[in-house]
């Protein structure tokens, strides 16, 4: 039975929950994605590339910025979330609110010897805060 990451086991994050292995793994991955995306790249002493990239580059067009965000987040996920594979990351801006960006993440996780397709959504608000929706 999957019980979450070591930190989640120590904090008993899923203790008393009526989740199955698949749901616990799904939530554990979402927790890790949230940690990755809420950390600024370069702020970790151990891993300088851990976290979200600098999101403001005035030299890039909106399309280039979205492509840059997609590529950077994809690289971070591949490096720091090994439980996800065959991932696709797509950043999309809102037409009515350019300060908000949706990040659609699709991929696969392996649970109980089966490949399970998963989807996550992350939102970047105008203040740079990123929220991962499970």
With helix as H, strand as E and coil as C, how does the chain read?
CCCCCHHHHHCCCCCCCCCCHHHHHHHHHHHHHHHHHCCECCCCCCCCCCCECCCCCCCCCHHHHHHHHHHHHHHHHHHHCCCEEEEEEEEEECCCCCCCEEEEEEEEEEECCEEEEEEEEEEECCCCCEEEEC
Residue 98: pLDDT over 70 = no
Residue 84: per-residue pLDDT: 95
Instruction: Supply the CATH classification number for the domain 6-133.
Output: 3.10.450.40
Q: What digits encode the pLDDT tens for the residues 40-55?
A: 777 877 787 787 777 6
When pLDDT is cut at 50, 70 and 90, the band that residue 11 belongs to is very low
């Amino acid at each position: 039975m999957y019980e979450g990451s070591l930190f989640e086991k120590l904090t008993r994050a899923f203790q008393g929950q009526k989740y199955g292995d698949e749901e616990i793994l799904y939530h554990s991955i979402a927790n890790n994605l949230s940690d990755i995306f809420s950390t600024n790249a370069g702020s970790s002493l151990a891993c300088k590339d851990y976290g979200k990239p600098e999101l403001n580059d005035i030299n890039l067009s909106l399309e280039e910025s979205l492509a840059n965000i997609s590529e950077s987040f994809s690289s971070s996920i591949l490096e720091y979330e090994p439980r996800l594979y065959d991932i696709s990351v797509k950043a999309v801006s809102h037409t009515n609110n350019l300060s908000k960006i949706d990040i659609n993440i699709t991929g696969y996780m392996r649970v109980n010897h089966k490949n399970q397709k998963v989807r996550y959504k992350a939102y970047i608000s105008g203040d740079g805060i990123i929220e991962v929706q499970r």
